[in-house]
Amino acid sequence: MSKDSILKNPKNLKRRKLINSVMISLCVLAGLVTIIPLIYIFFYTTQSGISSLNVDFFTQLPKPVGEEGGGMANAIVGSLILISIGGLIGIPVGVLSGIYISEYSKSFLSSIVKFTTDILSGVPSIIIGIFAYGVIVIPMQRFSALAGGFALGILMIPTVTKITEEMLKLVPMSLREASLALGVSRWKTTLKIVLTTASSGIITGILLAIARAAGETAPLLFTAFGNSFWQTKIDQPMAALPLQIFTYAISPYEDWHRQAWAGAFVLIFLVFVVNLLVRFVTRNKFSGNL
Amino acid sequence: MKDNNSMDNDNDNIELEIDPEIQEESELNSKAAVLTNDLSVYFNKRAGIENINLKIRKNRVTSIIGPSGCGKSTFLRSLNLMHDMTPSARVFGEIFINGENISDYNSVDIRKKVGMVFQKPNPFPTMSIYDNVIAGLKLNGSKKRSDYDEVVEKNLIHSGLWNEVKDRLKTPAMSLSGGQQQRLCIARTIAVDPEIILMDEPTSALDPISAAKIEELIFNFKNDYTIVIVTHNMQQAARVSDMTAFFYLGKLVEFSKTRRMFTNPREKLSEEYITGKFG
Ligand SMILES: Nc1ncnc2c1ncn2[C@@H]1O[C@H](COP(=O)(O)OP(=O)(O)OP(=O)(O)O)[C@@H](O)[C@H]1O
Ligand SMILES: [Mg+2]
């Protein structure tokens, strides 16, 4: 058969067009399946949460059962502190191990690190909470924000490591060579060329890790524990939004349920805003390369 | 320096007599910019190049030709220790730069002396044109901030890019055309003030006009630098270089004056390659 006959054969063409449109429909469908739950969650939380939101929610402490009103100010601040501690641990450790795996991939140790990170990312978060309980809560003989932050930090490590590794691997070898050929040392090349080139991807990964950690409840149960009062000392039990939402949602009180919705809304909104904000700030005028 | 400039390959049956012209010139110019002594590179157990003895003279353009896979890049990359980055590569033999054995020096210091321009233009994508030129100086911390403007202007003029970019120095380097990017890479390379510039097929990814511009640069660079250029383009080798080395299957077959190589090569193999009988 010559080339022309393939082009001109209408039967073949029709069949191909059909297959093409079926495949496209499947892709669109899959896309919708991904988007719909997100939109649903977003709208449902907004709808149920926004009506219970007021200034008090951000400024007041929780009220005892039976009293109307109150807020989650302590939990909001607590979450921010816990995430900061988690980030201080998880981001540097994750980024550095990602660099190690990607840039020094030929060493035996780095393959162990890679393997361990993969395993760690599959460990259920409650187990990580128990681990933090064992290494921090028991020796300190007290629940604390430190233990909660530590658990969140451990939880962030595999995500940050993985994304750093992947992003660094996307940086073409030719850029490393270009830098080395200028007489730039290996570590400066990694830091100033490779890491910088991959930075927007890595930042996105860090955001994902933070967003995930911000919503974690299980690892905080035996670590930060929760607190109905103001607490900003990191060696003390501390309230956190997901914990508070959890406690309120399983309570039998209508008023607490409404507050739980408000909390859920604030949590989602915060994650959303942080995402947008960092994207905006790190928007690189030289982007489009990765 | 050791007087080690005989060109004979002692390990195989390809006998190289000493070209009288080479000898004459080498006396005029006794200091070799690069001298390799039984240089071999192995990847795992396979040889990329074997027992290369080559003397590259100062302020000359030396081209390296040969069929694909014959070890041209491997040779070039051994001169600025790029094989350090390839875990499977093992380098044997000696390399002298300006008469000094490079194994006595830190690879970083060698690379400052021996710059490299790559086949595909590879400006740093996150940097502006300006920052690309000073990248080496900045990262090495070897010049004051106040000198940067001058360095940028001087090197962009030198690489023939200044007039095209002087009004948009702060725009992304990736906004340039391929040929302009390559000249930017050359500016970046010469900004760290190397003595030797290695070029691995620097024009093969470019259109003929951009390629011609680069060739012109190479020609003008002769007074200031020693250039070693790998090329698949025979005409290019004939146009730009003073000396030509022909590699085949990891061995140096012939090293002659370019004029001689392309008119009356000493080896039959060179002749066959140049006349297009294989490769
Ligand atoms: N990183 C590497 N790992 C394993 N083998 C390699 C590596 N680099 C080069 N080689 C081998 O060394 C030999 C020489 O390769 P080299 O790249 O030097 O050839 P070349 O002459 O530059 O070819 P081309 O003209 O296609 O660029 C080839 O057989 C190649 O397979
Ligand atoms: Mg090559």
* pLDDT single digits (tens) B23-80: 555 444 456 899 999 999 999 989 999 999 999 999 999 999 999 999 999 999 999 9
pTM: 0.82
Distance, in Å, from the CA atom of A205 to the CA atom of A224, rounded to the nearest integer, reads 25
Chain A nearest C-alpha distance from B172 (Å): 6
Of the candidates B221, B218, B209, the residue with the CA atom closest to the CA atom of residue B239: B218
Determine which residue's CA is closest to atom 31 belonging to ligand 1: B69
Distance of CA B87 to the CA centre of its chain: 23
Using alpha carbons, select from B94, B45, B14 the residue that is nearest to residue B266.
Answer: B14
DSSP string, B125-194: TTSBHHHHHHHHHHHHT-S-GGGHHHHHHHHHHHTT-HHHHTT-TTSBGGGS-HHHHHHHHHHHHHHT--
For each of the domains in chain B, give its residue range(s) and CATH number, in order of start.
4-274 (3.40.50.300)
Six-digit token pair at A266?
């604030």
pLDDT reported for residue A250: 93
pLDDT in tens, A76-108: 999 999 999 999 999 999 999 999 999 987 788
Tell whether the model's pLDDT for residue A41 goes beyond 70: yes
Q: Which domains does chain A have, with CATH numbers?
A: 73-285 (1.10.3720.10)
User: pLDDT higher for B20 or B110?
Assistant: B110
Full DSSP string of B3-60: -------TTSS---PPPHHHHHHHHHT--EEEEEEEEEEEETTEEEEEEEEEEEETT-
Pocket of ligand 1, candidates B72, B79, B273: which has the most ligand atoms within 8 Å of its Cβ, to mutate? B72
Q: Tokens at residue A67, please? A: 């009293």
- Of B34, B197, B219, B5, nearest to B117 (Cα)? B197
Report pLDDT for B11.
41
Residue B87 in contact with ligand 1 by CB distance below 6 A: no
Chain A residue numbers with beta carbons less than 8 Å from the beta carbon of B139 are: 179, 182, 184, 188-189, 192-193
Q: Looking at ligand 1, which residue's alpha carbon is closest to its atom 16?
A: B71
What ipTM score was computed for the predicted complex, to two decimals?
Answer: 0.85
Written as six digits, the tokens of B18 are 């000493």
Highest mean pLDDT among A153-162, B4-13, B142-151: A153-162
Ligand number nearest to the C-alpha of B82:
1
Give the pLDDT band of residue A64 (cuts 50, 70, 90).
confident
- Asked whether the beta carbons of B254 and B270 are under 8 A apart, the reply is yes
